[in-house]
Amino acid sequence: MTSLATQIGDFHFKNVLMNASGVHCMTAAELDELAASPAGTLVTKSGTPNARPGNPEPRYQALTMGSINSMGLPNKGLDYYLDYALAFQVKHPQQPIFMSVAGMGPDDYVTLAQKIQDSDFTGLTEFNLSCPNVPGKPQIAYDLETTEQILDNIFRLFKKPAGVKLPPFFDLAQFDQMAALLNRYPLQFINSINSLGNGLMIDPATDTTVIRPKGGFGGIGGAYAKPIALANVRAFRQRLRAEIAIIGTGGVNTGRDVYDLILCGADMVQLGTVLQEEGIPAFARLSQELEAIMATKGYTQLADFKGQLHTIA
Ligand SMILES: Cc1cc2nc3c(=O)[nH]c(=O)nc-3n(C[C@H](O)[C@H](O)[C@H](O)COP(=O)(O)O)c2cc1C
């Protein structure tokens, strides 16, 4: 019997797959569909202190090998997702869920953390430090000083299970610096990676950008992101304290992609673009594909290969 069960801290999940924040998780109806699916759990859309309409459309476009988006954090606001999570945990006490939150500036993170800390929420909170699509705002995690200031402020008051969603890093020195910083905080997990910030796609028929916001610049997801996601998961697994779990996100289209993220050290794997394009059936398909690979190799549980990437001596 093959098991896809996994664990983050004391939280147990029956399946290693879940949605990535921003995909199929804006409304209570979408969240309910995730909860009823084979996914191990769910994460909400990144909630900001107040609801936001986001950027003008078109702001998402599927591409041959993935997607580009500049959504601008449209969301129903923290209260909406907190209300959902509180009602959900009463109905499903055995199914812990993730709440993603994002600040429009450093001060927002204190507001968000305080509100969740003061609530009865018992799940995991994902602080999104990496939204690349808000005009005029840098990605927080590309600025070490601001990241440190935000994490200091969060963990001064926040005592519940928490993690951070990170943008992709590309330089080994960046991994060293960010991991050294993250290791100082009581993080349950990191989630790596968010979209590759600021790609550009052109419609050849019209010589026009395929999305409207920011002159066509947007975050890239899907197959384009896979090697970067693998490198980020691997690099952080080699540098973070063993107790900090890693959620691997980016570039999943097949069971092999899921397998590869786990091989690099992912404890959980999220679906972004593939879920957007294929919908809820993606969870069953990818679970079956992953189980088939594990069966071929004689593996019955994720621990049989998690983090066991071979390198060439
Ligand atoms: C339409 C869309 C909206 C997204 N919104 C969020 C968001 O609100 N918060 C967040 O942390 N990531 C957001 N992301 C990034 C995804 O969670 C994920 O990190 C990224 O798409 C890479 O995964 P993929 O290659 O499977 O698409 C969004 C991605 C897409 C495509």
* Interval 153-157 mean pLDDT: 98
Q: What angle do CA 205, 23, 149 make, to 5 degrees?
A: 110
pLDDT band at 132; cut points 50, 70, 90: low
Domain segments of the chain as ranges:
6-54+73-194+224-304
Tokens 């690979």 belong to residue: 293
DSSP state letters, 1-42: -----EEETTEEES-SEEEPTTSS-SSHHHHHHHHTSS-SB-
Whether 133 has a pLDDT exceeding 60, the answer reads no
Q: Was domain 6-54+73-194+224-304 assigned CATH 3.20.20.70? A: yes
This model's pTM is above 0.75: yes
pLDDT digits (tens, 9 = 90+) for 255-270: 999 999 999 999 999 9
Hey, which of 19, 21, 45 would you mutate to test ligand 1's pocket, going by the most ligand atoms within 8 Å of its Cβ? 21
The reply to whether 25 belongs to the active site is no
Average pLDDT in the chain: 97
Structure tokens at 146: 């601001």
Q: Assess contact for 269 and 247: CB atoms under 8 A.
A: yes
Cβ–ligand 1 distance for 249 under 6 Å, the answer yes
Nearest CA-CA partner of 82 in 5, 28, 153, 141: 28
| pLDDT tens-digit series, residues 180-201 | 999 999 999 999 999 999 999 9
In whole angstroms, what is the distance from residue 245 CA to residue 28 CA? 27
Per-residue pLDDT tens for 47-65? 999 999 999 999 999 999 9
C-alpha distance from residue 189 to each of 32, 47, 233, 249, 264 (Å): 24, 19, 12, 13, 15
Q: How much of the chain, in percent, has pLDDT values that exceed 70?
A: 98
Q: Is 250 in the pocket of ligand 1 (CB under 6 A)?
A: yes
Q: Which of 273, 274, 278, 286 to mutate to test the pocket of ligand 1 (most atoms within 8 A of CB)?
A: 273
